Amino acid sequence: MGDQGKERPIVEFRHITKQFSGVKVLEDVSFFINRGEVHCILGENGAGKSTLMKILTGVYHAEEGEILINGERVNVCDIREARKLNIGTVFQENSLVPHMTVAENIFLTREIKNRSGLVDWKKMRSETIRWGQELGVELDPDIRVKKLTVAGQQLVEIVKVFSQNPQIVILDEPTSSLSDKEIDNLFSIIRRMQKKGVTFIYISHRMEEIKQIGNSGTVLRDGKFVVRIEDVRAMEIENIISYIVGRPLDEQFPKRKAVIGDVLLEAKNITVPGLVQDVSFQVKRGEVLGFSGLVGAGRSETAKAVFGVSGGPAVRY
C-alpha cells in the first residue's frame, strides 16, 4: 500500500555483471535513479562507473542482469537505440569530427532536410545558435571544431546532447577541461534542464562538485555496489570518501617529510610557437613541482615540450 502512488524510477539496474577476458569489472550491481534528480556515480578509478554507463548506452553489453527505463525492461544494443530511449551522453573522450563545423557536428547523422530532401544549412545554423542561447553558450555555427579550445569543444558536445531533447543525460567527468567560470555555466545548464524534467547521471572525482550539484548518489567499489546515498549534500565528504575507499579516512592530506636534494632537471626558455613562450623552471631531487593555470594556459604543452613530444629548445638536464 505504501508504494502506491510512488513514481517509479526512471532508470533501474538489476544484477548487472560484466567481464573482460574473464575478469569481472562489474558484479551483481543493482540500484535505481529517480526522475529529475542529479544522481552521482562515485568510486575510484576502476570501480566500474564508466563501464556501467557504456552498458546503459549500448557501447558494451552485460553478461548478466537487466536495465529498466520507466519501469520497462530494455535491450540497449547500440548508441542509436540509446538515443531512441532519449538517453544522451557526454563522455570524457571527445567524439567530435575536427574538420567539420560546429553546426555539422551538432546535427551529425540527423541533419535537417528541406522539402527537396537536401540539407537545410541555414536551418541547422540557426538551430545551433538557438540551442546555444537556450543553454547560455555562445556558439559560432560555422567555425571548424579543430579551431576551438578543448573547453570549447566540450561545450559543443554538451549542446549537441541537449539538442536531441534527452530525458536522461550522462555526464562523465564533464568538467575535466573546463575553467571555473565554464563549470558554473555548466551547472546553470544542469539546473535549468533539471527544472524541465531532465534526469542527470553525473560522474566526477571532485567532491566539491558533487556537493554543489548532486542530489543522490551511488558508490561503486571494485565493480560492486556499496551504498546508495539519498542526499549527497547532507553527507560529510569524509564519510563519502570512506565509502569510496572502503576504510575510515583519518586524514585527507597527511603531512609527509621530504628530503629535497640538488637540481635534477632544469628547463630554460622553453618556447612552442603560439602555445608556450620563454618558460623556465627547475626540479630538485625528491621534489613535486606543480603547474597551475586556466585551461589553455600552456601547462600540458610545456610538459610535452620537456618530454620531446612538441618542439622546445634549450631544455638542459
Domain boundaries, the chain: 11-245, 263-316
Question: What's 191's DSSP letter?
Answer: H
Quick one: pLDDT at residue 129? 94
Distance in angstroms (rounded) separating the CA atoms of residues 281 and 315: 10
What mean pLDDT comes out for the span 263-279?
A: 86
Q: How many CB atoms lie within 10 A of CB 60?
A: 18
For residue 239, the Cα-to-chain-centroid distance in whole angstroms is: 23
Digit-coded pLDDT (tens) for 19-45 = 999 899 999 999 999 999 999 999 998
Give the per-residue pLDDT at 36: 94
For the stretch 73-82, pLDDT in tens is 998 988 888 9
Higher pLDDT, 252 or 73: 73
Write a three-state SS string for 200-237: EEEECCCHHHHHHHCCEEEEEECCEEEEEECCCCCCCH
d(CA 2, CA 96): 47
- CB-count burial class (<10 Å; 0-12, 13-18, 19+) for 164: middle
Residue for grid cell 556501467? 52
- 8-17 per-position pLDDT tens digit: 999 999 999 9
Rounded Cα distance between 291 and 231, Å, is: 35
DSSP state of 8: P
pTM: 0.78
Evaluate if residue 182 carries a pLDDT over 70: yes
pLDDT of residue 275: 79
129-172 pLDDT, tens per residue?
999 888 888 889 999 999 988 778 888 998 999 999 899 999 99
In sequence order, what are the residues at sequence separation of 6 or more whose Cβ sits closer than 8 angstroms to the Cβ of residue 80?
Answer: 58
Q: Residue 212's pLDDT band (boundaries 50, 70, 90)?
A: very high
Look at 234 and 151; give whichever has higher pLDDT. 234
**pLDDT band at residue 251 under the 50/70/90 scheme:** low
Helix axes 121-134, 150-162, angle to 10 degrees: 100
Q: For residues 129 and 124, what is the distance between their CA atoms, to the nearest angstrom?
A: 9
CATH code assigned to 11-245: 3.40.50.300
pLDDT greater than 80 at residue 94: no
Determine the pLDDT at residue 123: 95
What would the grid cell of residue 40 be?
552521482
Tell me the C-alpha distance between 122 and 128, whole Å. Answer: 10
| Maximum C-alpha span of the chain | 76
Per the CB < 8 A criterion, the answer to whether 16 and 52 are in contact is yes
Contact 106, 99 (CB under 8 A): no
Confidence (pLDDT) at 2: 42
Angle at 181 between CA 176 and CA 270, to 5 degrees: 60
301: nearest Cα among 264, 266, 271: 271
Element (H, E) at 240: helix 237-245
Least confident stretch, 32-36, 115-119, 250-254, 259-263:
250-254
Rounded CA-CA distance 263/142 in Å is 49
User: How confident is the model at residue 12, as a pLDDT?
Assistant: 97
The confidence band for 1, taking pLDDT boundaries of 50, 70 and 90, is very low
pLDDT computed for residue 72 by the predictor: 93
Q: Which residue has the higher pLDDT, 203 or 251?
A: 203
Question: Per-residue pLDDT for 186 more than 70?
Answer: yes
Which pLDDT score is estimated for 299? 83
Per the model's pLDDT, the better-predicted residue between 251 and 137 turns out to be: 137
Helix/strand/coil percentages in the chain, nearest 5 = 30, 25, 45
Query: Which tens digit of pLDDT belongs to each residue from 101-111?
Result: 999 999 998 99
Q: What percent of the chain has pLDDT over 90?
A: 52
